Amino acid sequence: MQESLQQSLQQSFQKILQIQELDIKMIRLMRVKKERQQELSKIHSLTADIQTQVIEKETGVTEVKKQIRMGETQIKEIQDKVGKLESQQAAVKKMDEFNALTQEMMRTGRERNQVELQLSDLTDKLVTEEDLLAILKENLEATDQNSTLIEKEIHESIEKINEEGRTILSEREAVREKTDPEVFSIYDRLLRNKKDRVVVPIENRTCSGCHIVLTPQNENLVRKGDRLVFCEHCSRILFWQEANVAEGEEAAPRRRRRKSIG
């Protein structure tokens, strides 16, 4: 009875360890996928930024052009007015009327100078803004071309990741079907919690998950191997490595956590 309990638990452990390695692979894979997706969104926001700048600059250029047209209309109106004043002046007989018209013409002349000055400033501004717009558009085009290449590369790598993920999932499902559902559900809950290995060997009286030294009682329970024993500190499931190696005929490939020297 005792023997078979141990055996079945050991078998469950082997399966769970296989599943765990697949899950760790999957977690790493999803991390890479997330990084790649973040790269994608960075590229998108960079392009969107330049697009916004182009649109703003275009609006600016349109506004300057409108102001120039308004100035030109104003100049035309002033010219018409000057023409009218000149013909009026030619027609008047009285000196004071003549002088009044001269005053008016001088005022109109000053107004015209002012508008012409504004127009000249606006024309300078238009040249500058159009130059900037051209640079921005070139920049946008270069960024677009560049990001199209990078995006293609990223999409391809994400597709590969998804493919690899599907393979891992189907392998996992195949092993899970042969695993004790109760042990699996405990494992699965722990994994979702920690996103890291949750079935770990005891190494030098220490939980190799949290690296805290275990009590001798705890260690003995694990060594007996007739029930699941959890680390008192991190709740990971503990197992006795030597026992597994000795007893497991179909020992799963297992990655030991090597202690770093020093």
Q: Given the rule CB under 5 A, which residues bind Zn ion? A: 207, 209-210, 231, 233-234, 236
Closer to Zn ion by CB, 160 or 195: give it: 195
How many angstroms separate the CA atoms of 195 and 61, rounded? Answer: 54
Closer to Zn ion by CB, 61 or 210: give it: 210
How many angstroms separate the CA atoms of 136 and 64, rounded? Answer: 18
Residue 209 C-beta: closest distance to Zn ion, Å:
4
Q: For the chain, what is the HEC assignment? A: CHHHHHHHHHHHHHHHHHHHHHHHHHHHHHHHHHHHHHHHHHHHHHHHHHHHHHHHHHHHHHHHHHHHHHHHHHHHHHHHHHHHHHHHHHHCCCHHHHHHHHHHHHHHHHHHHHHHHHHHHHHHHHHHHHHHHHHHHHHHHHHHHHHHHHHHHHHHHHHHHHHHHHHHHHHHHHHHHCCCHHHHHHHHHHHHHHCCCCEEEEECCEECCCCCECCHHHHHHHHHCCCCEECCCCCCEEECHHHHHHHCCCCCCCCCCCCCCC
Closer to Zn ion by CB, 224 or 233: give it: 233
Closer to Zn ion by CB, 115 or 199: give it: 199
Asked if 108 and 86 count as a contact pair (C-beta separation under 8 A), the reply is no
Closer to Zn ion by CB, 48 or 213: give it: 213
Closer to Zn ion by CB, 120 or 215: give it: 215
Closer to Zn ion by CB, 54 or 234: give it: 234
Residue 231 C-beta: closest distance to Zn ion, Å:
3
How many angstroms separate the CA atoms of 221 and 232, rounded? Answer: 12
Give the number of C-alpha atoms closer than 13 A to the C-alpha of residue 52, restricted to the C-beta side.
6
